[in-house]
Structure 1
Amino acid sequence: MTVTGPDEEAADRRSLHERIAADLRDEIMSGDLAPGASLPSTVHLKERFNASNATVQKALHLLKEEKLVIGRAGAAVTVRDHRQRTVRPASYMTPAPSGEPYRWLTETAKNGSRARISLLEVAEAEPPADVAEALRLPASGTALLRRQLLLVDDEPVELVASYYPLAIARGTPMTERRKIPGGTPTLLAELGYPPRLSIDRVSARIPTQDQYQELRLPGSLPVLRTLRVVYSDDERPIEASVMVKAGHLYELQYEFTAE
């Protein structure tokens, strides 16, 4: 029997180029390497990580695939300007005023980006178990599914699968394969179900095959999966959405006030 010591158990088993990319990625996402800044030279990185030129180039190639840096062989590698986006969930909860676009579109535009939504699917479907539980559905119960792909500057950034109780959705524009002016929060409020409380459960996961393809992900980096449940009056669940975004391109910002 082989006995593994505590040092071996704690060892980083990733290849060296993956470890180099991880350290540089952290410095980019934390702002130590700011947008537009040049990465340390290859000579410096070789010395810092005790690595060969080929290993350093493999690490930089990973960061280029992730769209965190830009550059070519023999030239300086710099941090891309759109390295990370901050998501403020509280900004999207309030229904948009009549005639105005969905709040995600307007909030994204404030950062100077072009945002659009592609509606992928509208159907009655059996939701994942955590969604069914959140909506208080019976066993094998179904809900209305509206699945969308959110794009910023024509790049896919988030997959959103929103589920609605059929007692609320049937007979409304939600069942139609078309966009809803102001988004579903506005329509739900007009139907007498104003959002009163929104609860997010966020986890980091390895992307599924569909998520990998639809979000055009560069590798096996984690995605952020958010299960958002929206409640109306009397704590009635009116919407449960599964939102998936690339973890290396986003951070979530939650704002709280003391009572």
Structure 2
Amino acid sequence: MAKHTDTRPAHHRIAARIRADIMSGDLTPGEQLPITQDLVAHYGVSGQTVQRALGLLKDEGFIVGRSGRGVFVRDTPQQAIDSVATMPPARDGEPYAWIRETAKQARKGDNRILQVAEVVPPAQVRDALGLTPDGTAAIRHRLLLLDDEPAELVRSYYPMDIARGTALLDHRKIKGGSPTLLAELGYPPREMTDRVSCRPPTEEEYVALELPSEVPVLRTFRVVRSDRARPIEVTVMVKAAHLHELLYRVPLDLG
């Protein structure tokens, strides 16, 4: 069997190494990168190749150039919000849990509603909700924003017998978010299951999330169940992999 080698262009390989050092914390937020001459010597490439590598990382937002000073690691590290903490219904007067969690990190979270309708969902969603091939569900399609920048595309689906006649089908934000409304309707969230994958973005995702080239997205397929394991919400979340991490903090009972 032939030995597998990295055939990517040199500037892609260099960008990958620097990117990995930033994500691992070996290059810290605000830290200055070595000057071009030092990077040329370290990687054994031309100055043009180094500049192309740095250009990729600038496009992705990993580094920033400061006139007359050099190139620095971005000040804000990858965003990591506790996924479990966003699930409980909000208490009286509290905002949607995702917005509350972003505020803990001194970020401003918001969401923009793109679509609310009754639709025939994708096959994976139909299977999770137990629908027939032509069965319908309510969809709430949103764009989540962090500090007014696009962060995540979210499509949430709900059984029609739950959604019909409720705010789930209103083209407006839901006070406290869908977990709060579902609990008020008698369907408190009891369990969630996430399936996470990584893939290239679709055209819609590329445009809506304002992605640079060569950046994959993280796709989370979440099923939320209530009492008696009834599925009450299925959500497909897509976010830029270079800007976000998935964080799960789950108590373990090993007794």
Q: TM-score range by the shorter chain?
A: over 0.9
One-letter code aligned to 1:232: S
Percent identity for Structure 1 against Structure 2? 54
Q: 1:152 aligns with which of 137, 146, 158?
A: 146
Q: 2:101 aligns with which of 107, 114, 117?
A: 107
**What aligned pairs does 1:47-126 form with structure 2 within 5 A after superposition?**
47-71=41-65, 75-126=69-120
User: Contact 1:67 / 1:83 at 8 angstroms: preserved in 2?
Assistant: no
SS of 2:70's equivalent? coil
Question: 1:167 aligns to what?
Answer: 161
Q: Deviations over 1:158-185 (max 9, x none)?
A: 0100000101100111111000000010
With the length of structure 2 as denominator, give the TM-score of the two structures: 0.96
The residue that corresponds to 1:248 in the other structure is: 242
Matched length: 253
Aligned to 2:125: 131
> 2:25 is matched with which residue?
31
- 2:253 maps to what in 1? 258
User: Would the aligned equivalents of 1:115 and 1:153 in 2 still touch at CA under 8 Å?
Assistant: yes
Distance 2:155 2:73 in 1: 32
2:196 counterpart of 1:196: no
How far apart are the structure 2 equivalents of 1:237 and 1:93? 14
Which of 33, 39, 42 is matched with 1:45 structurally? 39
User: What SS class does the counterpart of residue 77 from structure 1 fall into?
Assistant: strand
The aligned counterpart of 2:177 is: 183
Q: What is the distance in 2 between the residues matched to 1:232 and 1:127?
A: 20
**Secondary structure of the residue that 2:98 maps to in structure 1?**
helix
Match of 1:11 in 2: 5
Distance 1:75 1:54 in 2: 19
Cα distance in 2, alignment partners of residues 102 and 75 from structure 1 = 41
* Higher mean C-alpha deviation, range 85-94 or range 160-169: 85-94
* Distance in 2 (alpha carbons) for counterparts of 1:255 and 1:110: 15
Q: Match for residue 213 of structure 2? A: 219
- The secondary structure found in structure 1 opposite 2:50 is helix
Aligned AA for 1:258?
Answer: D
Name the Cα RMSD after superposition.
1.2
Which amino acid in the other structure matches residue 244 of structure 1?
V
Opposite residue 79 of structure 1, the aligned amino acid is V
Q: State the Cα distance separating 1:142 from its structure 2 match.
A: 1.4
Runs of 4+ in 1 over 3 A off after TM superposition: 72-75
Contact 1:20–1:56 at 8 Å: present in 2 too? yes
Tell me, yes or no, if the aligned pair for 2:89 and 2:97 is still in contact at 8 Å.
yes
Q: What is the TM-score with the length of structure 1 in the denominator?
A: 0.95
Residue 140 of structure 2 contacts residue 155 of structure 2 at CA under 8 Å; is this kept in 1?
yes
CA distance in 1, matches of 2:118, 2:244: 31
Residue 91 (structure 1) shift: 0.7
**TM-fit CA distance, 1:141:** 1.6
> Equivalents in 1 of 2:183, 2:72: separation in Å?
46
State the AA in 1 paired with 2:2. P
The Cα of 1:74 is off from its aligned counterpart by: 6.1
CA contact (8 A) 2:81 2:102 kept: no
Deviations 1:89-111 (A, max 9, x none): 11111110122210000110111
Q: d(CA) in 1 for partners of 2:44 and 2:26?
A: 21
Deviation of residue 64 (structure 1)?
0.6
CA contact (8 A) 1:145 1:164 kept: yes
Q: Return the offset for 1:73.
A: 7.0
How does 1:220-235 map onto structure 2 within 5 Å? Answer: 220-235=214-229
